[in-house]
């Protein structure tokens, strides 16, 4: 970037976890002179008492003195009125954009943003890039040599968009042969770029959250909702390491942060309903007094951030991200969206008006093939899960496994793709609650937004899955959640990521194993340097080729008798997740035996010994050669207190 790396930047953000992420992005871009403020008042104090800053990047929603008030203060101050000001907003609503521009903002960036998005905004502020055009540009359709329409459709990495992946696979393998179009799919990192590209004419269409589509339509973006992408499919999980009492659920969530993927989402809506019925006041900082703070974070980051942030109680998101967090041991299932609002809408298929008006045959064929892809997901969940692994995780960054996807696709109250006909009354229920109960978004003419004629042809003769009464004040969500968990339990998701290679080791006369992916290397016993005021099982530190590695004796940590180290004693260097990131730790075992390939169907659940014995660190049991091996989850074994001590070491 040609903007000088030593410019003085003030970053204003009340959420510590988001501030940490944004600082990391600024460092990635090369900026080193960054000061921080946790709300608008602290920012004003820094601006008044410290050296002048050359760029302000501020969150909008903050308690006490929010980003909008800070922007107005800066523009009213003679000394600072020309300071470039980037507003980072999780609002995601067009009306907020208008307010900020009227107040003199230099640029807006929607949260959560990535490095490329922030780089573009900084360059815009310093005149090194043109400001993005306001409003929607017309889409210029593209064609193949044989005259077929090139349909460019965007999606993100969630199971909700699998019908698009199935159709893409069927076209590539010759199972579907469109006569009027060719399909180009675009995998984007989050909702912000989907909105932007759909609005500015870079796409012919997108699979997008229904309330986002409504908001774009309400502000003049020429799009229509032509089909549902799915029904149900979202999950509400809670942080596993926090103590949860069934008789006092409100206490678990009070004074915590709760992650949602977007303000304009059914996830926000259902979370708001449930937490409100617990007697809590959920909300966004700066809007009102709240005791549960909604934070918008990228869906793919939620499992990682939940594991790192002790102040976060959970998140609600599209699958498979919740099931992935459960299988990793970071989260527990609280409820599925289909358990509280059966067959509800969520993501929808939107297309630009220019495409619909000029290419009806191609649009009809596309919608009809998507409906058939939805039927395939239902009848062939195993094959659909195989397709999903590559379609939803093309860069292999999420580490998705077929077992996780297949579990999501076959969950009784989970995602359904067999009835994709858009019912306007269901969308109106969603809109009414969000606009009138939550103050989010603006009401639009749904009869004008929803175009059903293509779906009427595509869905003709297929059975309908009618949604239940939308949840609201007259429906007891708390009771529905309790009944669902009592009936279903959580074991079906607990070991979905357990299949793979395991390192087997001996400990106290027992056979144990841990995932090879958690291990870095194996070395013999090393000289140990003691560290004062540490529990007995933290033996000290070792120097491993210049790296200082804390050392945990697994015998002592697991309550076994201590034994003298000998020539067979080994140190397994593992990677465990702490609040500040990955921590390399050495664990002492009696001996290392072999590497095993363990299939999912070989793994048995660990028995439940009740409250007398904590077995959360036991991932499962497996029989190998007539002996039972205990699968160890090292992340669950080491408590938050342990990780604090190891990070301090």
> Which one is predicted more confidently, 625 or 118?
118
**Is the distance from CB of 224 to CB of 353 less than 8 angstroms?**
yes
Res 456 pLDDT > 90: yes
Res 610 pLDDT > 60: no
Res 313 pLDDT > 60: yes
Query: Phi and psi dihedrals of 403, rounded to 5?
Result: -60, -40
Res 341 pLDDT > 80: yes
Structure confidence at residue 136 (pLDDT):
58
Over pLDDT 90: what percentage of the chain? 54
Half-sphere exposure of 208 (CA within 13 A, CB side): 32
Res 520 pLDDT > 80: yes
Which tens digits make up the pLDDT trace of 543-568? 988 889 999 999 999 989 989 999 99
Query: What residues form DSSP beta bridges with 184?
Result: 152
DSSP classification of residue 529: B
Res 168 pLDDT > 90: yes
Question: Cα(503)–Cα(517) distance, rounded to whole angstroms?
Answer: 9
Q: In the numeric block, which tokens belong to residue 262?
A: 């977007």
SS3 405: helix
**Is the distance from CB of 182 to CB of 153 less than 8 angstroms?**
no
Structure confidence at residue 158 (pLDDT):
93
Q: How many helices (H) and strands (E) does the chain have?
A: 24, 28
Q: What's the chain's average pLDDT?
A: 88
* Torsion angle defined by CA atoms of residues 301, 302, 305 and 309, in that order, rounded to the nearest 10 degrees: 160
Structure confidence at residue 611 (pLDDT):
45
The most confident of 136-140, 468-472, 616-620, by mean pLDDT? 616-620
Q: In the numeric block, which tokens belong to residue 235?
A: 């999950």
What pTM was computed for the model?
Answer: 0.76
Cα–Cα distances (Å) from 49 to 18, 53, 79, 198, 273, in that order, read: 25, 11, 13, 43, 43
Which tens digits make up the pLDDT trace of 243-292? 888 889 999 999 999 999 998 999 999 999 999 999 999 987 666 668 99
Question: Cα(287)–Cα(45) distance, rounded to whole angstroms?
Answer: 22
């Amino acid at each position: 970037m040609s903007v000088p790396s030593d410019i003085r930047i003030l970053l204003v953000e009340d959420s510590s976890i988001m501030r940490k992420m944004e600082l990391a992005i600024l460092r990635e871009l090369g900026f080193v002179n960054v000061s921080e403020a946790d709300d608008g008042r602290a920012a004003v104090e820094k601006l008044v008492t410290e050296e002048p800053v050359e760029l302000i990047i501020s969150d909008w929603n903050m308690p006490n003195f929010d980003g909008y008030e800070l922007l107005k203060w800066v523009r009213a101050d003679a000394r600072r009125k020309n300071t470039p000001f980037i507003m980072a907003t999780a609002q995601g609503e067009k009306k907020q954009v208008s307010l900020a521009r009227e107040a003199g903002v230099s640029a807006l960036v929607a949260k959560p943003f990535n490095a490329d998005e922030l780089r573009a905004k900084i360059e815009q502020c310093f005149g090194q890039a043109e400001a993005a055009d306001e409003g929607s540009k017309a889409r210029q359709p593209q064609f193949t040599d044989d005259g077929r329409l090139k349909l460019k459709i965007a999606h993100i990495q969630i199971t909700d968009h699998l019908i698009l992946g199935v159709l893409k696979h069927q076209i590539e393998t010759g199972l579907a042969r469109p006569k009027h179009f060719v399909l180009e799919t675009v995998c984007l990192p989050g909702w912000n770029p989907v909105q932007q590209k759909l609005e500015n004419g870079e796409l012919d269409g997108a699979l997008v959250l229904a309330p986002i589509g409504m908001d774009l339509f309400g502000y003049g973006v020429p799009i229509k909702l032509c089909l549902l992408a799915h029904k149900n499919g979202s999950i509400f999980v809670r942080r596993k390491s926090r103590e949860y009492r069934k008789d006092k659920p409100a206490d678990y969530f009070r004074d915590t942060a709760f992650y949602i993927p977007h303000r304009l989402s059914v996830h926000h809506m259902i979370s708001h309903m449930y937490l409100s019925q617990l007697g809590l006041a959920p909300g966004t900082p700066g809007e009102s007094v709240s005791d549960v703070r909604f934070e918008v974070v990228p869906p793919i980051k939620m499992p990682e951030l939940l594991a790192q942030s002790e102040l976060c109680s959970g998140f609600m998101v599209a699958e498979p991200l919740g099931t992935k967090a459960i299988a990793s041991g970071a989260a527990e299932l609280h409820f599925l969206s289909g358990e509280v609002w059966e067959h509800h809408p969520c993501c929808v298929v939107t297309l630009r008006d220019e495409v619909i008006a000029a290419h009806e045959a191609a649009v009809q064929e596309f919608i009809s093939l998507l409906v058939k892809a939805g039927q395939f997901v239902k009848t062939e969940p195993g094959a659909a899960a195989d397709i999903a692994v590559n379609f939803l995780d093309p860069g292999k960054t999420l580490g998705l496994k077929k077992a996780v996807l297949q579990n999501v696709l076959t969950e009784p109250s989970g995602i359904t793709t067999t009835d994709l006909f858009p019912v306007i009354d269901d969308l109106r229920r969603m809109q009414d609650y969000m606009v009138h109960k939550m103050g989010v978004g603006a009401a639009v003419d749904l009869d004008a937004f929803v175009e059903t004629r293509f779906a009427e042809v595509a869905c003709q003769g297929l059975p309908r899955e009618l949604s239940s009464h939308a949840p609201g004040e007259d429906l007891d969500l708390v009771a529905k959640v309790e009944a669902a968990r009592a009936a279903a339990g959580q074991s079906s998701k607990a070991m979905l990521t357990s299949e793979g290679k395991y390192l087997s080791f001996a400990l106290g006369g027992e056979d144990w194993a841990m995932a090879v992916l958690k291990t870095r290397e194996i070395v013999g016993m090393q000289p140990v340097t003691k560290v004062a005021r540490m529990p007995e099982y933290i033996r000290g530190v070792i120097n491993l080729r210049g790296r200082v590695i804390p050392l945990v004796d697994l015998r002592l940590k697991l309550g076994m008798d201590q034994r003298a180290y000998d020539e067979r004693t080994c140190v397994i260097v593992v990677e465990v997740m702490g609040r500040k990131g990955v921590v390399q730790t050495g664990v002492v075992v009696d001996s290392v035996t072999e590497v095993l390939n363990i299939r999912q169907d070989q793994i048995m659940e660990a028995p439940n010994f009740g409250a007398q014995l904590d077995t959360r660190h036991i991932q499962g049991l497996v029989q190998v050669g007539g002996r039972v091996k205990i699968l160890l989850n090292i992340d669950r074994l080491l408590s938050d207190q342990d990780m604090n001590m190891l990070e301090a070491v």
